[in-house]
Chains A and B, each alone.
Chain A
Amino acid sequence: MADVIKVTLVNRVPNSVTVSTGVSGGGTWGTISGTITDQSDLVTYVTSERPNYPVVSPDGTSFIIVAGNDGTLAAIPPTSTAPSITTLPTISGTLNVGETLTATAGTTSGVPTPTRVLQWQRSDNGTTGWADISGATGTTYLLAFNDEDKYIRVAQTEENILGTATANSVSTTQIQPSTGLLLDQYTGAAAAYSLRKLSLIYSGDAIIVRRASDNATQSIGFLSNGELDTSSLESFCAGTDGFVTTWYDQSGNGVDAAQTIAGAQPKIVSSGSTILDNSKPCVQFDGIANSIVTSSNFIAITDLSLFVLRKFNFLQPRPQDIISQGATASSQGFKYGMSGGAQDQLVIYYSSSYAATDGTTTINQELHSLITTSSTTTLNINAAGQALSVSSGRQIGNNNDPLTIGKRDSGGGFFNGNIQELVIYTADKSTDESGIEININDFYNIY
């Protein structure tokens, strides 16, 4: 098939025009009669008076000159045809947030071969109001949070010099929530630390680890199944201990937790082996000096929903704080962990302390779901409600401190135990609490 050849006006003699190709060797092919004074007139003339004007190039090749749909003239083969789409484009893939859809273009014809553009579109009802999704012009499309409950289709456009054809795929059914990862399903976390992948949207690693043998560091990510890449971790820390210098926030808010003091970094590899709780990796705090601190303050005057999977290794000395912020009367922060009386305890510091305590703290691996609002404070341990010492609630107060994990912000209270997951919402997540607990337990098999 011959290339499309652009044609331009080269001789402005009234009523007679010479056209020239823009390719090497094309030369001057002949004249077209008419009232022609400039390029615009030439296009108008060809469109109205001489559509598909036949010419023959010096080498004997036949062409027609047409006014193309881009507003210019072109010399194209006489067999050229406008684009046509004879079957609709189709969409394949799983219709859940976080999954990738693939478009298959419909069958097309047209000479010269049309240029194809795919455009993914979104609608509230699957029938009307279709709007282009910005930047979504590839053959695949990753379903995002804002696609949930919407409908998706793909528009296929084929274009050549003779025209344009468009066809739309059939609409998908309604896009469903993510079925897999916690933060895709329960959105809006303020911070989330885990040794499993919590969001398909999150593309970063899990931790940065320092090995004791030479103090080199390496970032450790996830396997395709979402679990921590312990092969890379153990290869890097072969025969030595590994310590967490950074525990990445997977919420998308960038509130990473880090520790630049070597003696305070919690451990994740012991003598070359990943430390495990119930067969899953964990971050181990030594109860003496370990803690990590978030990069910024993000909890102030708010409802708080806290989901922490923890295990105590020793219940002495007491108290031991799993997380804290401020945690003094003057800083108006809070702490959560084991009290001096060996009870699970939330303390919120206002002008006076608000302490919600539960029964005796156990050493077991447990999922604690703590929700505190201005009206209620609740604690579920392994999805079972606990009787607290308070009947009312209290929001977290105003303070400017970052969150400390593994000890009391203001001093001691070091946690002697392991953390596998810590997810924080600065909101009341009571309605999602059960689902979040199921998601965590499905992975960790706690109870």
Chain B
Amino acid sequence: MYYTSTNKADLQAYNKKVVWGEKYDGVHTTDWASIIEHPNGVDFAMLKHDSYTAELTLIETLGADWFPEDII
């Protein structure tokens, strides 16, 4: 499951929410997930954590259009 947004800051905030909640050690683990940028430059996505929700659009998987170089 992924959250998507056209506002990158929404996903940065979601990452911070998980990091604070999980109390990662900041050394071996610093973040919950990376922001994935769609090649269209407009859409962004982040892996959803099972225990944390956000008021963002939730999708099941990222389609092949997110990784255009994967065709090889």
Contacts and interface: CB of A to CB of B under 8 A. Distances in A.
B72 A353 contact: yes
Counting chain A CB atoms within 10 Å of each CB, the highest count among B24, B32, B66, B67 belongs to: B67
A408 B25 CA distance: 27
Interface string A322-357: 000001100000000001100001010000010100
B33 A260 contact: no
Contacts of A288: 47
Given A215-B22, A217-B28, A289-B47, A412 B70 contact: yes
B8 to A, nearest CB: 16
A261 B25 CA distance: 11
A265 to B, nearest CB: 7
Interface string B27-46: 11111111000000000000
Contact of B69 (A216, A317, A355, A408): A408
Contacts of B29: 210, 215, 217, 245, 260-262, 265
Most chain B CB within 10 A, of A262, A289, A317, A410, is at A262
Contacts of A216: 25
Contacts of B17: none
Given A262-B31, A288-B47, A413 B25 contact: no
Contacts of A408: 67, 69-70
A413 B34 CA distance: 16
B16 interface: no
Nearest to B19: A262
A336 B28 CA distance: 27
A319 B67 CA distance: 11
Contact of B32 (A214, A263, A412): A263
Which of B28, B67, B70 has most A Cβ within 10 Å?
B28
A411 interface: yes
A264 interface: yes
Given A215-B22, A288-B47, A261 B70 contact: no
B33 A412 contact: no
Contacts of A123: none
Contacts of A427: none
A246 interface: yes
A288 B1 CA distance: 10
Interface of B: 18, 22-25, 27-34, 47, 49, 62, 64, 66-67, 69-72
Given A216-B25, A261-B34, 17 more contacts: A210-B29, A215-B22, A215-B24, A217-B28, A245-B28, A261-B32, A262-B22, A263-B33, A263-B47, A288-B47, A319-B71, A319-B72, A340-B70, A347-B72, A353-B72, A408-B69, A413-B67
Interface of A: 208, 210, 214-217, 245-246, 258, 260-265, 288-289, 317, 319, 327-328, 339-340, 345, 347, 353, 355, 408, 410-413
23 contacts: A210-B28, A210-B29, A215-B29, A216-B25, A217-B25, A217-B27, A245-B29, A260-B28, A261-B30, A261-B31, A262-B22, A262-B32, A262-B33, A263-B33, A319-B72, A339-B72, A347-B72, A353-B72, A408-B69, A411-B67, A411-B69, A411-B70, A413-B67
